């Protein structure tokens, strides 16, 4: 009885072992490189290097965190070039042969950490069609609405993404990135960082050119208080003299009129 029980447990253990799911970060090997392919079995963070494949010299660089590798056609590493590559290790979804100028490890292992690139294989430098991405332009804000981020529409050769996600009315700083689709290679600028401004407020948005509070100010210039539209009486240095003269003449007329009445009453 005891032996039968042990045998049953052993059989169950074998079944569980066979049907147990494979961990998401189980290692996967790239296809074996052939003659003329390039393989780097000891890639590390901040590593740079170069190799020649299919008659083309390719320069590469790994980021300091070891998560991204990029390939370039020039020694200054400013002109991206697409290669057919495979990064060893990682989940099934993140391993395999891809064609790209940049590869980023975008998954976490079972420990919740993003693994670094430790090795990679380049099989060829495909002949891709050059394409240029349209730049992202920002429409300025107005007194009735915030600015608008205008992202170019995807084309047959270029796809655009925005980070953080943008929706109408949102403001702040956004990064627009252009990515070449399969069979194409981007030339020129592929990323733009732009700022979308908030709706305009204040004096410039008041009809008539000013804000309602405050004392009137002559001129009615933009951003001032309401213009003074009353007619100003002229005031200059001649006013006191003119006033004295008018008063003197009025006084003389009054005295003369009084004297004439007195003479008339005596008759």
In whole angstroms, what is the distance from residue 257 CA to residue 220 CA? 52
Average pLDDT of span 129-145? 88
- The answer to whether 136 and 189 have CB atoms below 8 angstroms apart is no
pTM for this predicted structure: 0.44
Report the distance separating Cα 105 and Cα 119, nearest Å. 12
Q: State the average pLDDT for the chain.
A: 75
Higher local confidence (pLDDT), 20 or 260: 260
Q: Where are the domains of the chain?
A: 20-125, 132-196
DSSP state of 94: G
Give me the pLDDT at residue 83, please. 92
How far is Cα 109 from Cα 17, in angstroms, rounded to an integer?
Answer: 21
Inter-residue contact 116 to 66 (CB < 8 Å): yes
Contact criterion met (CB below 8 Å) for 142 and 131: no
pLDDT value of position 69 = 95
Per residue in 27-77, pLDDT (tens digit) is 457 888 998 999 998 999 999 999 998 888 999 999 999 999 999 988 999
Q: Picking from 85-94, 127-136, 224-233, which range would have the lowest pLDDT averaged per residue?
A: 224-233
pLDDT score, position 260:
60
Parallel, antiparallel or unpaired: strands 184-187 and 129-132: parallel
Q: In what side-by-side order are the strands of the sheet with 48-53?
A: 48-53, 56-62, 68-72, 102-104
Average pLDDT estimate for 159-173: 91
Whether 116 shows a pLDDT value over 70: the answer reads yes
Among candidates 217, 187, 223, which has minimal Cα distance to 203? 223
- Could you identify the residue written with the tokens 């099989």? 123
User: Comparing 255 with 38, which gets the higher pLDDT?
Assistant: 38
Q: What is the pLDDT of residue 259?
A: 64
What is the maximal distance between C-alpha atoms in the chain? 169
């Amino acid at each position: 009885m005891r032996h039968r029980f042990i045998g049953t447990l052993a059989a169950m253990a074998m079944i569980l072992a066979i049907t147990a799911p494979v961990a998401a970060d189980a290692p996967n090997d790239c296809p074996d490189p052939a003659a003329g392919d390039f393989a780097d079995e000891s890639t590390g963070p901040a590593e740079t290097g170069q190799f020649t494949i299919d008659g083309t010299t390719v320069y590469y660089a790994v980021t300091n965190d070891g998560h991204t590798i990029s390939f370039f056609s020039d020694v200054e590493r400013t002109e991206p070039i697409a290669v057919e590559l495979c990064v060893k290790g990682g989940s099934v979804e993140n391993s395999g042969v891809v064609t790209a100028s940049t590869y980023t490890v975008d998954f976490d292992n079972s420990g919740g950490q993003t693994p670094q690139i430790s090795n990679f294989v380049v099989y060829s430098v495909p002949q891709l069609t050059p394409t240029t991405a349209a730049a992202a332009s920002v429409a300025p804000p107005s007194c009735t609405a915030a600015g608008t981020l205008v992202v170019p529409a995807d084309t047959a050769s270029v796809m655009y993404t925005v980070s953080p996600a943008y929706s109408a009315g949102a403001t702040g700083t956004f990064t627009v990135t252009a990515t070449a689709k399969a069979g194409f290679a981007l030339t020129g600028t592929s990323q733009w960082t732009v700022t979308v401004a908030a709706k305009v407020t204040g004096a410039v948005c008041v009809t008539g050119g000013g804000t309602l509070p405050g004392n009137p100010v002559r001129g009615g210039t933009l951003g001032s208080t309401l213009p003074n539209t009353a007619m100003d009486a002229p005031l200059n240095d001649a006013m006191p003299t003119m006033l004295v003269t008018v008063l003197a003449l009025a006084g003389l007329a009054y005295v003369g009129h009084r004297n004439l009445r007195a003479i008339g009453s005596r008759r």
